Amino acid sequence: MKANNHTQLIKTEATRLGFFHCGISKADFLEEEAPLLEQWLKDNRHGQMKYMENYFDKRLDPRLLVPGAKSVVSLLLNYFPEETSRHAELVSASSSQTLKQVQGDGDGKPKISKYAYGKDYHFVIKEKLKELVEFIRTNIGDVNGRVFVDSAPVMDKAWAKKSGLGWVGKNSNIINKQQGSFFFIAELIIDLDLEYDSPVADHCGTCTRCIDACPTDAIVQPYVVDGSKCISYFTIELKENTPPEMKNKFQDWAFGCDICQDVCPWDRFSKPHNEPHFKRNEEMLNMSRKDWEEMTEEVFRKLFKDSPLKRAGFEKMMDNIKAL
């Protein structure tokens, strides 16, 4: 009975904190994911993201990250913006040819991934998770654990899947039937026994929209993404300048890329978030290519001091603009 009560307490508080979904799974070895991760690394799908090679065992077993861990609490936080006209146009397109046309009909203005419209999500989510941990310790007892938001070797999509928050789509993103895929995933790994949720069925069916729409062919086969071919990799992760052969292939994406999500039929169910910290940076979104090209480093630092774009840095962003 305690596990049931504790589970309900945690899920109720997670909702109060703004997470739209909370699922829980047993902290155990990720047996199914182990060979997949090993093969993905062997095929060099991670490109220059060498950190993906580190802590292989810890990525697969949360008990090595948190001694005595018993439960992985996975949470989803919506970041879908209010402005959805472009998104609606994409998801209503009826063929891969139409999708290519719609994506190419932009005004030439550099595009930023929706998750980067507001304040850096790492800060926002960590504050919420700290509140959740404090709530657990106040209302349940002396519980030990750690919070994770892209900050350690945790396979967040695998845990979200095991916790029933959605299925892994052919674009490798977690897809939720009620909300699509425009959300952040975070975890709380704790030494507390809870009631565990079950995975949900895959509802991608025969759809290949994400595969057909990717301009760099990064989705090499259903459910397998070559990270080293992804536009997000080139515009964020790659520390070198954009390779000459990739220039003019990004369809105006200057930071990240939403194409494989924009075209997903399930994302027609995405609803605008209500998180104040994710409010759109209108100045950034209204900038023309010329505005970007003429930007100084001082202006960049001022405009993006709390933004995810700070991660890429001024020089990288300028190179991204030149590559469009």
Q: Tell me, what's the pLDDT at 108?
A: 80
What is the dihedral angle through the alpha carbons of 213, 216, 221, 225, rounded to the nearest 10 degrees? -110
Q: Which two tokens stand for residue 20?
A: 């739209």
Reduced 3-state DSSP string for 147-168: EECCCCCCCHHHHHHHCCCCEE
261 and 125: one domain?
A: no
Q: Which residue has the higher pLDDT, 205 or 94?
A: 205
37 and 7: one domain?
A: yes
Helix ranges restricted to H, the chain: 2-16, 33-42, 56-60, 85-91, 96-103, 121-139, 156-162, 209-213, 231-232, 259-262, 282-285, 289-293, 297-303, 309-312, 314-323
Polymer length in residues for the chain:
324
- Above pLDDT 90, what percent of the chain? 88
Q: Which residues contact 106 (CB under 8 A, 6 or more apart)?
A: 251, 252
309 and 256: one domain?
A: yes
157 and 106: one domain?
A: no
Residue 273 lies in a domain: no
- Grouping H, G, I as helix, E, B as strand and the rest as coil, residue 185 is strand
Amino acid letter, 144? N
Amino acid letter, 321? I
- The per-residue pLDDT of the chain, averaged, comes to 92
Where is the domain boundary, 135, 156, 190?
A: 190
Amino acid letter, 124? V
Residue 221 pLDDT more than 50?
Answer: yes
Report the distance separating Cα 271 and Cα 235, nearest Å.
Answer: 27
Residue 171 lies in a domain: yes
Whether residue 150 lies in the annotated active site: yes
Residue in 105, 107, 120, 150 annotated catalytic: 150
Give the count of domains, the chain.
2
Q: Tell me, what's the pLDDT at 85?
A: 46
74 and 44: one domain?
A: yes
Residue 37 pLDDT more than 50?
Answer: yes
Residue 26 lies in a domain: yes
107 and 124: one domain?
A: no
231 and 103: one domain?
A: yes
124 and 220: one domain?
A: no
Q: How confident is the model at residue 96 (pLDDT cuts 50, 70, 90)?
A: very low
Q: How many CA atoms lie within 13 A of 45 on its CB side?
A: 19
Residue 105 pLDDT more than 80?
Answer: no
49 and 174: one domain?
A: yes
Characterise 149 by phi-psi region: left (phi > 0), alpha (psi -120 to 50), beta (else). Answer: beta
Q: Which residue has the higher pLDDT, 150 or 229?
A: 229
Residue 43 lies in a domain: yes
**Other beta carbons within 10 Å of 289:** 15
Mean pLDDT score, 294-305:
96
Report the distance separating Cα 247 and Cα 305, nearest Å.
Answer: 28
- What is the per-residue pLDDT across 232-258, written as a single tens digit (0 to 9) for each? 999 999 999 999 999 999 999 999 999
Q: How confident is the model at residue 222 (pLDDT cuts 50, 70, 90)?
A: very high
22 and 158: one domain?
A: yes
Residue 27 lies in a domain: yes
Are 254 and 292 contacting, i.e. CB atoms less than 8 angstroms apart? yes
210 and 153: one domain?
A: no
111 and 176: one domain?
A: no
Residue 104 pLDDT more than 50?
Answer: no
Where is the domain boundary, 138, 156, 190?
A: 190
Reduced 3-state DSSP string for 265-283: HHHHHCCCCCCHHHCCCHH
Are 48 and 80 contacting, i.e. CB atoms less than 8 angstroms apart? no
User: What is the 8-class DSSP label of residue 243?
Assistant: P
Residue 196 lies in a domain: no
Q: How confident is the model at residue 1 (pLDDT cuts 50, 70, 90)?
A: low
Q: Which residue has the higher pLDDT, 89 or 193?
A: 193
Residue 98 pLDDT more than 50?
Answer: no
Are 214 and 99 contacting, i.e. CB atoms less than 8 angstroms apart? no
Q: Tell me, what's the pLDDT at 151?
A: 76
Helix ranges restricted to H, 63-176: 85-91, 96-103, 121-139, 156-162
In which domain, by residue range, is 60 found? 2-79+118-190
Mean pLDDT score, 82-96:
55
Residue 33 lies in a domain: yes
Where is the domain boundary, 157, 190, 223?
A: 190
Report the distance separating Cα 218 and Cα 210, nearest Å.
Answer: 10
Residue 135 lies in a domain: yes
